[in-house]
Amino acid sequence: MTTAEIQTFIELNPLLSLIITLVLSILVYLFGRFVVGRTMIYIAGRTKNQYDDVIVENLRPFRIAWLAPLGIIYAFAHLVPEYQGSIEKIALLLIMWVTAITFNSLLNAVNTIYEASPSYSGVAIQGYLDLLKLLIIIIVLILSISLLTGESPIVLLTGLGAATAVLLLIFRDTILSLVASVQIAANDLLKEGDWVEVPDYGADGDVLNITLHTIKIQNWDMTISVIPTYKIVEVAYKNWRGMTESGGRRIKRAIILDMNSIKLCTLEDLTRLAKIDLIQDLAQTRLEELQAYRQANPDTFDPPLDGPQVTNVELFRNYIDQYLRSRPDIHTEQLSLLVRSMAPSDHGLPIEVYAFTRTTAWAEYEAIQAAIFEHLIAAAPTFNLSVYQQPSSLDFNSLAKLSH
């Protein structure tokens, strides 16, 4: 049957042609949904590649099945001349929106595949994809209004120009978020997976997701904080990514010594402390210097201030330094290692440890830090030093018993 014969048949049998069109549309929809759609899902589930699963899941084959019958209805709308215009508009409107929603779903698939790739470094593109989705929705919305009103899209865009102030007010957060997303990406301020602290929003945890409008952070207590994207560039926050990438986490903590226990070392003290392996060389050297001075000045030697004296704090500081350098879990070359006396206060003399562990894992870091300071507190009495702590009720009870 030629095209001319088909056209003649349609003109002579409009009602029958309409019924055939409706039946054909239903058959095409059923074929697309139950044959093409299920086949795509089956094939995607059988392959080892996970990317096709993501694409099919977001593509929604059952939704795409509507495009074919809608196209047929649009093509044969002239079979109902009285309602041809309305049928064509509705069919075309549905085709545009189904296509737009499907394309936006494919953008979700693109983001999922990008973040699942081995080369993914945490630089999110979802903000840009969200902007593209928004532009698609705006374009389809303008075309839909143009289709329903019969006006040219150019005329609508011209009218929108007069409403720029209103549009800026409506899309204020979107515009600010877009600018913030560009700043974040250009300056590498934030990535998915970064540990951040945002005190203004009570957020402290890992960045889960960065979109055009929001940044989602999972806090260490497993709660979720959602921060507007444009706000992150307006408030102060701390990103711990540099610590993670450096391979070391800082220990900056002091042990406070009671100043009443600080004293100059005698020959007996130096002899005893010279048996400690970590400070053997230093203690032996100071002992020999003091003995040499004593032999050279037997008549004027008057301990403890005469001669090259050394305090028990100095030896303790050197012991701490050598102890840290002997630990395999502490950085000794690439990153700073320092043991220093801080300014004395009414609580005592702080001896601060400034060092970096070789791990950034939280639990391991805390275990290393705890082991170091537990050891130092236990080692202090060996140097005749007392660790300061404020008196407790037990101390006052003991004092009261002694007074009675």
SS3 string, 10-31, reads: HHHCHHHHHHHHHHHHHHHHHH
More confident residue, 46 or 197: 197
Helix axes of 51-59 and 38-46: crossing angle, nearest 10 degrees: 160
Q: How far apart are CA 39 and CA 367, in angstroms?
A: 55
Mean pLDDT of 209-234: 89
Closest to 116 in 3D by CA, of 29, 175, 192: 192
Is residue 184 within 8 A of residue 237, CB to CB? The reply is no
Whole-structure pTM value:
0.59
What b-and-e string marks burial along 333-363, b requiring 16 or more CB atoms within 10 Å of the CB?
Answer: eebebebeeeeeeeebbbbbbbbbbbebeee
Mean pLDDT of 138-152: 78
Q: How far apart are CA 236 and CA 239, in angstroms?
A: 10
Closest to 263 in 3D by CA, of 215, 296, 312, 308: 312
- What local confidence, expressed as pLDDT, does residue 129 receive? 79
Structure tokens at 22: 């409706």
Q: Residue 247 class from Cβ within 10 Å (0-12 exposed, 13-18 middle, 19+ buried)?
A: middle
- What local confidence, expressed as pLDDT, does residue 317 receive? 94
The answer for residues whose C-beta is within 8 angstroms of residue 31's C-beta and 6 or more apart is: none
| pLDDT tens digit sequence for 340-356 | 999 998 889 999 999 99
- Judged against a pLDDT cut of 70, whether residue 302 lies above it is answered with no
- Domains of the chain by residue range: 3-120, 124-131+149-239, 249-393
The answer for residues whose C-beta is within 8 angstroms of residue 39's C-beta and 6 or more apart is: none
Q: What is the secondary structure of 24-77 as a DSSP string? A: HHHHHHHHIIIIIIHHHHHHHHHSS-SHHHHHHHHH-HHHHTTHHHHHHHHHTG
Helices (H), strands (E): how many in the chain? 17, 8
Helix axes of 67-75 and 84-116: crossing angle, nearest 10 degrees: 150
124-131+149-239 classified as CATH 2.30.30.60: yes
Mean pLDDT computed over every residue of the chain: 80
Closest to 309 in 3D by CA, of 268, 265, 274: 265
- Judged against a pLDDT cut of 60, whether residue 11 lies above it is answered with no
